[in-house]
Amino acid sequence: MIKYPNQSKKVPTAPIVKKRNLKKANLGTDFETKINNSNQYYLNKGIASIYKKPTPIQIVRVDYPARNKARIVEAYYRTPSTTDYNGIYRGYHIDFEAKCCHNTSFSFAHIFTHQIEHLMTIDRLGGIAFLIIEFPIHKEVYLLPAKKLYAKYEQSLKGGKKSISYKEFQEEAYLITEKINPAIDYLKIVDLLIEKKQNEDC
């Protein structure tokens, strides 16, 4: 291929890169949509009120094209203080992070340390805290309680491996069977966790 000057914008690799990113992003978004729809189902049935928190944004500059209209023209993504989702179910405070894992192991690089610590704080204060993880290559979704996540994270700090393998999820996490509606019926597993908690408290 002959490269003409000033035609750098037409390099054919650009759309391919874009397409790949789009596909990856969509996979994560699909999972998020399924969780959001499940939460909407729970809310409609009146059994739980669980929401995704908005993405934290640092707003730098806002324009007012009209008196009652604000357009944000400069803003940046901020690091979230806590996790993606929280709410209430059966009187219990529910808190979790949702991740889509495209590999065969979940690296601790994909979750912030302060998010793991936040989940432990919720657990200690009497809430139900966990990680929900989707493995698209296995078409499976797992729920890992905060205590187990934290134990594995602590091991990684002491020189252990920096990830949790799919096999470990199979053996130590709870499999959430995908359904039509709600797609990700994670509250069924939360029922088990509440039962376990109540037995511990006795």
- Would you state the structure tokens that stand for residue 74, as one six-digit string? 């400069």
Distance, CA of 120 to chain centre: 16
- Would you state the structure tokens that stand for residue 119, as one six-digit string? 């989940």
Give bridge partners of residue 69 from the DSSP assignment: 66
The least distance separating its own copies from the CB of residue 60, rounded to whole angstroms, comes to 9
Using CB under 8 A, which of the segments 2-10, 67-75, 159-167, 184-192 binds its own copies? 67-75
* H helix or E strand, kind and range, residue 99: strand 92-100
Q: Pattern of binders to its own copies over 18-57, x per CB under 8 A? A: -------------------------x--x-xx-x-xxxxx
The least distance separating its own copies from the CB of residue 194, rounded to whole angstroms, comes to 12
Closest CA to 101 of 192, 194, 173: 173
By beta-carbon proximity to its own copies, the closer residue of 25 and 137 is 25
The reply on whether position 175 binds its own copies by CB under 8 A is no
Residue with token string 């065969």: 104
The least distance separating its own copies from the CB of residue 91, rounded to whole angstroms, comes to 3
Residue with token string 């806590």: 82
By beta-carbon proximity to its own copies, the closer residue of 92 and 108 is 92
Closest CA to 29 of 108, 87, 109, 100: 100
Using CB under 8 A, which of the segments 80-88, 98-106, 140-148, 150-158 binds its own copies? 80-88
* Sites of contact with its own copies (CB under 8 A): 43, 46, 48-49, 51, 53-57, 59, 70-78, 80-82, 86-93, 95, 118, 121-122, 124-127
